[in-house]
Amino acid sequence: MSVTEEQTPTEAEAVLADEPEVRLALSEADRASVSAVVAEHPSSPLAWAELADLADSEGRALDAFAYAVVAVDLARGQLEATGWEPGTAVRWSEEPNRAYLRALDAERRAAARLGLAERSDRAAADLAAADATAPARIASEFTPTQVMPVVTADLLASLTEAEAHTGEPLAEPTAVDTAGED
């Protein structure tokens, strides 16, 4: 018996389980308490992916790599339980899937920083196979926190001392014309 195109069953989309309680906990958490969310939800790919992104934003490549590997492993386990096979689509358009896609990208970035080129390439290939649009979405929506220059205690003290000598706040610098005069 032959099967026509109309009779061919459509492949079910791979979708991770939604985790509204984890999303809520993460939305209420500050940077210092993300690890507590992971401790409360240790089987959550989303919580681990968030922890990986946080570590990456702080320049902790080793931690980011470890957290991302756990997130990827947990997500793959959940996806495989629904019939998903590695190399098949995991669409960004399904919000729960973003945990897996973000974790793959975090693993890729951290592996590259650690000099694990093969591992980085494999994560990039897995990410592209899952959803080719994901890397651009991640780059635009999950940008690591910018590193801000820190005012050191010495610099702060010198600024305070200058104010103390005159009793007035430091004046704004004045522009000098091209002849070098005020």
Could you tell me which of 124, 104, 101 has the C-alpha nearest to residue 64? Answer: 104
Cα–Cα dist 126/32, whole Å: 30
Q: What is the pLDDT of residues 90-120, one digit of tens each?
A: 999 999 999 999 999 999 999 999 999 999 9
The one-letter code for the residue type at 39 is A
Joined together, the tokens standing for residue 42 give 């240790």
50-75 pLDDT tens trace = 999 999 999 999 999 999 999 999 99
Domain boundaries, the chain: 20-141
Of the CATH numbers 3.30.70, 2.40.128, 1.25.40, 3.30.420, which one belongs to the domain with range 20-141? 1.25.40
* Interacting residues of 134 by C-beta distance below 8 A, sequence separation 6+: 92, 101, 104, 105, 127
Report the C-alpha gap between 170 and 150 in whole angstroms. 20
CA distances from 42 to 1, 15, 70, 115 (A): 48, 19, 10, 28
Q: Given pLDDT bands bounded at 50, 70 and 90, which one contains residue 144?
A: low
Q: What is the mean pLDDT of the chain?
A: 82
